[in-house]
Structure formats: structure tokens, C-alpha cells
């Protein structure tokens, strides 16, 4: 089988309902030359069996990369998925993030070596998130009729970054909006495989979510000379609501240590 144009790596743990929503959005992508890597941080046997059935019946290329549940080890399974990927270009998203139909096309068209391509997202309200189904995603509700509810939820302060849901086609407006580097969201970015391998992937000492585990990668990539291209109103993602996770101090200490030492190539990554 020929190598796909890109590998989409989705971090996952047990939440099949969210994954079904993502897969529904992937069926609508304007760009089809991709493989899906489910980076599974130790889902249960029951979920794994159901996931394998989903993969067998899917009409897109899906591969399941799994390791045993030994606590939160997202960075380790992401590194394993990087190694297993067949493409030289990687897109990373979290397992609670649905993609606009042109999202992968935009990442692929705008890819550049030595650049991180940073997509943006709109954080959906609890009520809109709870009402989502694969059928609604297939019908394009999120980038169609649900835009009205997103706007109303935004006025009621029930969601954030509603403006990120607006897709803009004009090259001139795009260039004006995205002149500034606005940083990288760990739930939505892409880069060449060689560029992430050059810093040895994610630091696997991060064993808690919510802070540092992906920011550390961004900082090490920047120290290695990489630049960031923001794709606001271009590469759009819809983040399913969940409660804010606590910040873990041990993560902050690891990130501070790497920053103080100016670490670029982590010895705690893909190559040990």
C-alpha cells in the first residue's frame, strides 16, 4: 500500500461516543489521502473489542495503536504512534475534537518543513455537546444550522472562541488575520515527521494531563528553529465540552527544568 499523504493521530482513551463523532467528520473530509492512527492509552478490553469492530467496518484507513493501562501515559502512546505512522506528515488531535470538512485539506496544502501548522478550535457548550450524534455531524450541523446555537451560547458565556468556527476562503483576509504567531494548541497541530523526530518526540516523563505535556514539545521545537503558522478561520476544530482538568505541579517542574536547560532533544522520548 502506498504511503498516505498524512497520518492523523488521535489520542484516545475509552470514549467511543466521542470517537464516533470524530470518525463521522472524517468521512466528510475534502482531502481523502490519509490514514487514522488511534493512539489508545490503555482502553478497556470491552472498548477495544468494539473499536476493532468499528475499524473493520470503516471505509477509511484506521490503525489501532494500544498499550496497557498503567495510568495516564498519553505521551508514550503518541510517540509509539509517530513511529508506526506511514506518512511523512502528521496531524495531531485529541479524542474529543471534531474536524471541519476542509480541516485536513488545509493542513496538507499549507504544510512546510521546519514549520508547525497550528489549527484553532471552538469550545462547544455543554448542551450542544450533549446533543451531538454522528448523524448530525454527517449532515453538517456543526458548520451549518448549529452555528446559530453556537452564537447564542457564546452570548450566554456557555462556550468560548465561537469566532473560530467561521471558515474564511478569501486568501487576502486569511493572510491579514493570521499574520501573528498565536501559539500551538496540543489538540490541533501538524508538522513533518522528520521535524518531530529531530527533537525525539514527546517527553515521556509527563504522566498527568492538562499542562505542559504538549507545551514542552512546542518549546523544544521552537528552540530547534521551527516557526508557527496559525490557521485561524482556516483549519477548524470543534471541542466537545468536558470539565476543566486540574493542573499537576510535577508537569510544571519538568517543563521548567527543560526550559532552564534549553533542552531541544529530550533523552526521554522516542529513542532511549
Residue 22, domain CATH: 3.90.550.10
Cα 72 to chain centroid distance, Å, stands at 17
pLDDT one-digit tens code per residue, 196-208: 999 999 999 999 9
Q: What is the mean pLDDT of the chain?
A: 96
Distance between the two ends of the chain, CA-based, in angstroms?
30
pLDDT of residue 209 exceeding 90, the answer is no
Residues in the chain: 272
CB count within 10 Å of CB 131 equals 13
What's the pLDDT at 1? 65
Contact 187, 94 (CB under 8 A): yes
What's the pLDDT at 212? 86
pLDDT of residue 7 exceeding 70, the answer is yes
> pTM higher than 0.85, yes or no?
yes
CA distance 109 to 222: 22
Number of domains comprising the chain: 1
What's the pLDDT at 210? 77
Q: Based on the number of CB atoms within 10 Å of its own CB, is 179 exposed (0-12), middle (13-18) or buried (19 or more)? A: exposed
pLDDT one-digit tens code per residue, 8-52: 999 999 999 999 999 999 999 999 999 999 999 999 999 999 999
Residue 268 counted as domain residue: no
Radius of gyration over alpha carbons of the chain, in Å?
18
pLDDT of residue 248 exceeding 90, the answer is no
Q: Which helix (H) or strand (E) holds 146?
A: helix 146-155
Pairing of strands 89-94, 6-12: parallel
Higher pLDDT, 210 or 35: 35
- Give the domain range for residue 92: 6-261
Residue 271 counted as domain residue: no
Supply 50's cell numbers: 468494539
pLDDT of residue 245 exceeding 90, the answer is no
Residue 188 counted as domain residue: yes
Residue 1 counted as domain residue: no
pLDDT of residue 140 exceeding 70, the answer is yes
Amino acid at each position: 500500500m502506498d504511503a498516505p499523504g498524512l497520518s492523523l493521530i488521535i489520542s484516545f482513551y475509552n470514549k467511543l461516543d466521542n470517537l464516533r463523532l470524530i470518525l463521522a467528520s472524517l468521512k466528510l473530509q475534502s482531502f481523502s489521502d490519509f490514514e487514522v492512527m488511534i493512539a489508545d492509552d490503555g482502553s478497556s478490553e470491552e472498548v477495544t473489542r468494539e473499536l476493532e469492530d468499528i475499524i473493520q467496518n470503516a471505509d477509511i484507513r484506521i490503525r489501532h495503536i494500544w498499550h496497557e493501562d498503567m495510568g495516564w501515559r498519553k505521551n508514550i502512546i503518541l510517540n509509539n504512534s509517530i513511529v508506526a505512522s506511514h506518512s511523512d506528515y502528521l496531524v495531531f488531535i485529541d479524542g474529543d475534537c471534531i474536524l471541519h470538512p476542509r480541516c485536513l485539506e488545509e493542513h496538507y496544502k499549507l504544510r512546510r518543513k521546519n514549520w508547525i501548522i497550528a489549527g484553532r478550535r471552538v469550545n462547544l457548550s455543554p448542551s450542544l455537546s450533549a446533543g451531538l450524534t454522528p448523524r448530525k455531524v454527517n449532515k453538517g450541523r456543526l458548520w451549518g444550522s448549529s452555528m446559530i446555537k453556537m452564537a447564542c451560547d457564546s452570548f450566554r458565556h456557555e462556550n468560548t472562541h465561537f469566532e473560530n468556527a467561521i471558515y474564511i476562503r478569501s486568501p487576502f483576509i486569511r493572510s491579514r488575520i493570521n499574520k501573528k504567531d498565536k501559539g500551538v494548541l496540543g489538540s490541533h497541530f501538524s508538522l513533518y515527521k522528520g521535524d518531530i523526530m529531530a527533537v525525539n518526540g514527546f517527553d515521556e516523563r509527563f504522566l498527568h494531563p492538562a499542562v505542559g505535556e504538549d507545551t514542552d514539545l512546542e518549546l523544544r521545537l521552537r528552540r530547534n528553529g521551527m516557526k508557527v503558522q496559525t490557521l485561524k478561520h482556516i483549519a477548524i476544530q470543534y471541542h466537545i465540552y468536558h470539565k476543566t482538568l486540574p493542573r499537576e505541579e510535577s508537569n510544571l517542574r519538568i517543563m521548567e527544568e527543560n526550559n532552564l536547560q534549553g533542552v531541544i532533544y529530550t533523552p526521554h522520548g522516542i529513542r532511549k
